[in-house]
Every structure is written in C-alpha cells, then in structure tokens.
Amino acid sequence: SQQGEEDPQALSIQEGENATMNCSYKTSINNLQWYRQNSGRGLVHLILIRSNEREKHSGRLRVTLDTSKKSSSLLITASRAADTASYFCATLLKAGGFKTIFGAGTRLFVKA
Amino acid sequence: ETGVTQTPRHLVMGMTNKKSLKCEQHLGHNAMYWYKQSAKKPLELMFVYNFKEQTENNSVPSRFSPECPNSSHLFLHLHTLQPEDSALYLCASSQDLENGYTFGSGTRLTVV
C-alpha cells in the first residue's frame, strides 16, 4: 500500500445523505489535506489539518485526524448533486525535504 | 479562475517535438509544483520549487526539464517524449512548503 490511501474507491449516495471518506497513511506527517477534483480539471483545496489537530470544520465539511491510527476522515453532510467529484487526501511529509503525496482518490456520486 | 493559469490547455505533440508548458501565478506564493496525473493512478509529484530554487526532483526522466525564472512563473520543457507520457500535467502553488495548494486547470498532453 502507499502513503495516502482513500477508502472507499467509489461511493454512490442520494442527495441529502452524508458521505464519509477515509484516508490512511503510513509515515509521520506534518499535515493532511483534502482536495476535490471535477472531471479531470485542477484540484481544489478543501481543508488542511495539522498533525496536532484532531478535527476541523468548513461549512458542510468535517475532517478528523487520528495520528495514532494514521488515518483521517472527510464527512460531507447533506450532500448535493454538485458534490459529485473525486476527493483526494494528501499528506505532507517533512522527512528528507517537504513532499506532499496524494492518494488515488474516492469517486463520489451524488444522485439527485 | 483559481489564480494559477496554465497554458496551453491541450497539447498534442509527436515524439520528436519540443514543446513547453507554462504556469503562472500572481497569488504572491513562494512555492510552485509540477504534478502528473495519469488515468487510474495517484497524482505523481514531479518537481518542487521554493523561492525559485528546485528543492525536489522526484526521479523524473530528463526528457522533462523544469525552469523557474521567478516565483510567479514555472515552465516544463518537453523533449523526445514517449506515448506513456500522455497525461494531465498540473501546476500548483502555495504560500510556502507547509500550506495547501492552489492548482491550475492543467494541460492535457497527448504524445503521438
């Protein structure tokens, strides 16, 4: 497995439901970020959570970080069709210079 | 527009051609990045520049040559590419190496 793996690979829900995506990583991190990508366009930064933080909120988004389990989750509440996109977690590694490594992403489908 | 502009949006080139991708940001960011996104693979970090100095070359073949003349501009010079180099090339910038990224919309490159 690689640094930053999202789970599930794909998720299909109805509009109004909550969507939860998980990210696991292997090595110690400086911070963890979540991004959204629509249809092969550029990624949009959603939330950054630092290694000494446990939870952050931004609108309908809630991110948690458990450094003991090396995992993070992204919760989107009251999902909308417009939330349909791929979601990526990215971990900033400090060892050997700063590198941000992306996972393969979770593809979210929100049905209207 | 995100504040990071990539040109061209699409590029088709032959294996013997030389072309360049351009990335420009006027966000006052000090770090800039090139990532490669291939189908069904995680984003691959290629190069990192911080204050115009290259701080990371992630084992990228020499047929890809980056150039960062100032903190606002980043180029990726392409020469003698292979069909497997066909991908979406994403440029990003950040305030510093520890903050979230702002991505451009990418250049869709096809090598024929």
Instruction: Note whether B97 contacts A101, CB cutoff 8 Å.
Output: no
Name the CA radius of gyration of chain B, rounded: 13
Q: What residues in chain A have per-residue pLDDT under 70? A: 1-3, 96
Residues of B in contact with A101 (CB under 8 A): 42, 45
Q: Is the dihedral of CA B87, B44, B91, A82 positive or negative?
A: positive
Report the residue of chain A nearest B31, measured CA to CA: A98
Tens-place pLDDT, residues B61-70: 999 999 999 9
Query: Is the pLDDT at B75 greater than 80, yes or no?
Result: yes
**For residue B32, what is the enclosing H or E element?**
strand B31-37
Report the residue of chain A nearest B105, measured CA to CA: A42
Across the range B71-94, mean pLDDT stands at: 96
Across the range B104-108, mean pLDDT stands at: 96
Query: Is the pLDDT at B1 greater than 60, yes or no?
Result: yes
Instruction: Note whether B98 contacts A92, CB cutoff 8 Å.
Output: yes
Determine the residue among B6, B29, B101, B109 to mutate to test chain A binding: the one whose Cβ has the most chain A Cβ atoms within 10 Å: B101
CB nearest A31 (choices: B33, B56, B98) = B98
Give the span between the Cα atoms of A103 and B10, in whole angstroms: 25
pLDDT, position B48 = 94
Give the span between the Cα atoms of B71 and B10, in whole angstroms: 24
Query: Is B66 in a helix, a strand, or coil?
Result: strand
The structure tokens listed for B10 are 């699409």
Give the span between the Cα atoms of A52 and A45, in whole angstroms: 20
pLDDT, position A1 = 44
pLDDT, position A53 = 97
pLDDT, position B111 = 96
Q: CA B70, B92, B31: angle at the middle one, nearest 5?
A: 45
Place of tokens 């006052």: B28
Instruction: Note whether A2 contacts B88, CB cutoff 8 Å.
Output: no
Cβ atoms of A73 and A24 closer than 8 Å: no
pLDDT, position A94 = 73
